Chains A and B, each alone.
Chain A
Amino acid sequence: MEEKKKKKKPSKKSEFEFCKVCRFHHDQGPRHKYFPRHKELLSAFLNRFRSKIADVRFFLKNPSILRPQEESQNRVWCVFCDEDIVEIGSSFACSKAINHFASSEHHKNIKQFLWKHGPSMDCVDDFQISDADVAKWVRKCTALGNKDASSCRGQLSGTSNDIQNNIEFERSEKVQTHFINPNDLNDVKPLQYYTNEYQISHSGVSHYGSQLNVGASHLPPGVIGITSSSSSHSSDASGNVHSGAPPPWLTPSDVNIFSGQLNQSDMTRVQEKIPAKTSKLNPHRVGAAWAERRKIEMEMEKRGLAVHSNIDADWLPNFGRVWQSGTRKSSRKEFEKEKRKLVKTDSISLESEERKLVKTENISMESEEPVQIQPYISKRARREKSGE
């Protein structure tokens, strides 16, 4: 036995190699990538690159012309290819970077990197740019290129003009504020004036629309510091704060931000790593439970364990229902078949015919609305029955 152990040990130790992500040499071989420290550093590493790629994507969406003096500053380090992409001699911002990220060479390198270090292959698309996007970008660039020469000159003169305009604008603002200040002094006004003319002439309150038609809007009688809008939204069908409607920041439209389904194991793992500083806070403060949960979610998002919730309404477990015979999968298939039938309303007559058949045939198809609840009969019991 001992000999065997001795033989195994040297085979475990592999040659020293450099890990790009952890920035040190190790002799752990391929299992190094499963080490927690490596994983942590990797997610930070990839996130850093994600933010870089996001910058490039911005220019992909709205291409802009690169000024010659900014050429040297506009550069990207590609971590997968170990290459510095310098934009010297290119006329559009990030054009070389975009071409690089779309290249097949880059794609190959990403795959190699992920195989060697990485969490999984499914994030390849995060780090490259698709050809369709590049084609779009090229089209936009050509459109821009026509205006190129004229706009370059225009920008310079335009900026100086803007500064002047700004100065003038500020000045006029100042004048206006001074003008209004004396009005501010008599802030507390008697409340017996209700006419719009009074407010406009004396207190500088601006009004939009006619107020008296408005349903339940606030009318400021002679008080400064308030502007009212023409309440076109007085006819609220959806309800508001006063009627206790669900707040808009919790509506399902923002599912991707907020209510992702988290892995319980992931959550606990992240939870352990968050320092227990928060325990000092009052556990009964407003929204305490929510804050704890949200903190964990944010931590996970930061680490790139993106909280995807791609679960659609039609999701089913591997089995569709309680079944008594056949495989689980068949019960699911049966369920899906019925669902499809429900959509087709024209086949009602057929179904009713089938139902008669089913009733005679008993258990195996416990379909349609009048679901018969039956006690569970064990397999053995059934076998015995059929045997008899």
Chain B
Amino acid sequence: MDSVVLPTLTKKEEIDRIINNTIDKVLVLRFGRISDQNCLLLDDILEKSARDVSKFATVALVDVESEQVQVYVKYFDITLFPSTVFFFNAHHMKLDSGTADHTKWVGKFYEKQDFIDVVEVIFRGAMKGKMIVHCPLPPERIPKYQLLYKDV
């Protein structure tokens, strides 16, 4: 069902276009695959809240399985699914959520309101000219993960 409501992008050109055509709004790109359980949980939350945030945000899904989006997968260094990346006026927005990676949100949101809060904070920050914002969620609501380096 989610693919009906939220557009699923499978080509680099499509992603380029949506990034370049979203003006003065936050663009939320979810990188993941539909076959994945966790991804579906996140998609459900995105789908339910897409309308609530529609005045200041656009949500789209990206299928990482597709060959043609590997450029983006590599660029954003997406090794964990689902990962959510935010843009504003074709600028990549960063989010400091206390985890190691500021460039994206890794994992799912626990509630609809969590997602809305994060997008709103990013929008407010971007309107004030900030490229990085602090996550408004309490730490127990942020999914934990660790960076593991080779030979560490």
Q: Which A residues fall within an 8 A CB radius of B?
A: 176-177, 180, 187-188, 191, 204-206, 211-221, 223-229, 231, 233, 236, 238, 240-242, 245, 247-250, 253-254, 257-258, 278, 281-282, 284-288, 290-291, 294-295, 298
Contacts of A281 in B (CB 8 A): 24, 127
Contacts of B21 in A (CB 8 A): 294, 298
Instruction: Assess whether B113 is interfacial by the CB under 8 Å rule.
Output: no
A177-B37, A241-B92, A287-B89 given; A228·B79 CB < 8 A = yes
For the complex formed, measure the closest distance between the CB of B34 and the CB atoms of chain A, giving whole angstroms.
11
The complex places the Cα of A247 from the Cα of B36 at a distance, in Å, of: 27
Binary contact track B106-147/A, C-beta < 8 Å → 1, others 0: 111010000000000000001111110000000010011111
Q: Kindly identify which residue among A223, A228, A284, A287 contacts B91, using a CB–CB cutoff of 8 Å.
A: A287
- For this complex, 17 residue pairs linking A to B, each with C-beta atoms less than 8 Å apart, are A206-B36, A225-B107, A225-B143, A227-B80, A227-B81, A227-B82, A241-B75, A242-B103, A253-B12, A258-B20, A281-B127, A285-B128, A286-B88, A286-B126, A291-B23, A291-B24, A298-B21
A218/B79 in contact, CB under 8 A: yes
Contacts of A258 in B (CB 8 A): 16, 20
Instruction: Assess whether B8 is interfacial by the CB under 8 Å rule.
Output: no
Contacts of A250 in B (CB 8 A): 90
B80/A218 in contact, CB under 8 A: yes
Contacts of B78 in A (CB 8 A): 229
The complex places the Cα of A205 from the Cα of B16 at a distance, in Å, of: 31
The complex places the Cα of A76 from the Cα of B3 at a distance, in Å, of: 30
Nearest residue (CB) in B for A253 is B12
Contacts of A219 in B (CB 8 A): 145-148
The complex places the Cα of A226 from the Cα of B37 at a distance, in Å, of: 9
Contacts of A295 in B (CB 8 A): 23
- Count chain B residues whose beta carbon lies closer than 8 angstroms to a beta carbon of A: 59
Nearest residue (CB) in A for B147 is A218
A226/B75 in contact, CB under 8 A: no
The complex places the Cα of A72 from the Cα of B16 at a distance, in Å, of: 38
- Residue in B20, B37, B76, B92 whose Cβ sees the most chain A Cβ within 10 Å: B37
B89/A216 in contact, CB under 8 A: no
A227-B81, A233-B70 given; A240·B75 CB < 8 A = yes
A286/B130 in contact, CB under 8 A: yes
For the complex formed, measure the closest distance between the CB of B102 and the CB atoms of chain A, giving whole angstroms.
9
Nearest residue (CB) in B for A211 is B148
Contacts of A225 in B (CB 8 A): 38, 41-42, 107-108, 143
Contacts of A278 in B (CB 8 A): 24
A249/B148 in contact, CB under 8 A: no
For the complex formed, measure the closest distance between the CB of B39 and the CB atoms of chain A, giving whole angstroms.
7
- Residue in B16, B79, B81, B129 whose Cβ sees the most chain A Cβ within 10 Å: B79
Q: Kindly identify which residue among A231, A249, A286 contacts B15, using a CB–CB cutoff of 8 Å.
A: A249
Contacts of A204 in B (CB 8 A): 37
Known: A211-B148, A229-B64, A238-B75. 8 other contacts (CB 8 A): A176-B37, A214-B79, A215-B150, A218-B146, A220-B80, A226-B82, A240-B77, A285-B129
A284/B92 in contact, CB under 8 A: no
The complex places the Cα of A215 from the Cα of B38 at a distance, in Å, of: 24
Q: Which B residues fall within an 8 A CB radius of A?
A: 12-13, 15-17, 19-21, 23-24, 32, 36-42, 64, 70-82, 88-93, 101, 103, 106-108, 110, 126-131, 140, 143-150
Contacts of B88 in A (CB 8 A): 285-287
The complex places the Cα of A194 from the Cα of B96 at a distance, in Å, of: 25
Contacts of B39 in A (CB 8 A): 227
The complex places the Cα of A233 from the Cα of B21 at a distance, in Å, of: 29
For the complex formed, measure the closest distance between the CB of B86 and the CB atoms of chain A, giving whole angstroms.
11
The complex places the Cα of A136 from the Cα of B74 at a distance, in Å, of: 38
Q: Kindly identify which residue among B92, B126, B140 contacts A285, using a CB–CB cutoff of 8 Å.
A: B126
A218-B80, A285-B128, A290-B90 given; A245·B75 CB < 8 A = yes
For the complex formed, measure the closest distance between the CB of B144 and the CB atoms of chain A, giving whole angstroms.
5
A224-B38, A285-B89, A286-B93 given; A233·B73 CB < 8 A = yes
Q: Which 10 A-B pairs have the closest CB atoms?
A: A287-B89, A219-B148, A227-B81, A217-B79, A225-B107, A286-B126, A225-B108, A284-B129, A220-B145, A249-B19
For the complex formed, measure the closest distance between the CB of A272 and the CB atoms of chain B, giving whole angstroms.
19
Contacts of A229 in B (CB 8 A): 64, 78-81
For the complex formed, measure the closest distance between the CB of A294 and the CB atoms of chain B, giving whole angstroms.
6
Contacts of A241 in B (CB 8 A): 75-77, 92, 103
A226-B106, A227-B36, A241-B75 given; A285·B146 CB < 8 A = no
Nearest residue (CB) in B for A289 is B89
Contacts of B146 in A (CB 8 A): 191, 218-221
The complex places the Cα of A206 from the Cα of B147 at a distance, in Å, of: 17
Contacts of A290 in B (CB 8 A): 89-91
A231/B20 in contact, CB under 8 A: no
Q: Kindly identify which residue among A233, A238, A248 contacts B12, using a CB–CB cutoff of 8 Å.
A: A248
The complex places the Cα of A228 from the Cα of B38 at a distance, in Å, of: 11
